[in-house]
Amino acid sequence: MVEKELKSVLSHGNGSKRVYLMELHPNDFPQIIEYLDQFALQNKYDKIFAKVPSKYGPAFINNGYVNEASIPGFYNNKEDALFLMKYGSEERSRPEIEAMNAFQELLLQKANTTLAALGKGYGMRPLKESDTPAMVPLFKEVFATYPFPVYDPNFLLKSMREEDTRYFGAFYKGELIGISSAECNVEKQNAEMTDFAVIPSHRGKKLANHLLLLMETTLAAEGFKTLYTIARLHSLPMNKTFYNHKYRYSGTLIRNTQISGKIESMNVWYKKI
């Protein structure tokens, strides 16, 4: 669920049991900090996530927030973004130790920047509104649950028309078998690379790598400066995809997002183009 409160943009819901300050409007500072405390308390959320320009960081830190990640030049390639968290319980703030250890091993490996050609019968292209009927069953097959209603064709259409989300598809013999999306902020010149989904029978073909390359090429041509992702800690293949594409790891958001029925930690990666 996403809604506007004051002039800032908030997302919240019982799935992830958190409130997320997605965009801080300057007019709402500093009263937004107390507002978030009260909002989380009223809704019984045990985490507050605030993504804010770095110049606002000290006030949040003074109110008990910790900085778990950052992205340089996130705002028009001029100002950094801080990913600040405040926890309502000690349990929510504990990292998944085994998953973090496995991810640590990945970061110590040498990246593989060589990308093999697409296999025979496969193709890639940007998706259109007319593709939404095929997108919904694919998302349902890949994700048991998801933090946003990607199973709803009206949500997908609205995101395309009003929120400047670009979707990209992988096809096998004309059938849609993989999806990714870029949530674009033209004004701030950044885009979140997300919603990677490939049906199980076509995994292992490096399709996510080819989708990511298509996304990067498309967005670079349009003048975007910063690309980033918030990837599941438990999905080593997805993290490896961004690592191999020369994204930089900048932190882990602890027990942050509900996906497939459980709340998972997420890794932040970014790339300047």
Provide the whole-model pTM: 0.91
Q: Residue 3: what pLDDT?
A: 55
Q: What was the pLDDT predicted at 268? A: 98
User: Would you list the domain boundaries of the chain?
Assistant: 2-93, 122-272
Hey, what long-range contacts does 90-97 have (CB within 8 A, 24 or more apart)? Answer: 92/46, 92/47, 92/254, 92/255, 93/254, 93/255, 94/254, 94/255, 95/252, 95/254, 95/255, 95/265, 96/233, 96/234, 96/255, 96/264, 96/265
Q: What is the fold of 2-93?
A: Aminopeptidase (3.40.630)
2-93 and 122-272 in the same fold? yes
Q: What is the pLDDT of residue 209?
A: 96
Superfamily of domain 122-272 in the CATH hierarchy: Gcn5-related N-acetyltransferase (GNAT) (3.40.630.30)
Q: Which residues of the chain have pLDDT under 70?
A: 1-5
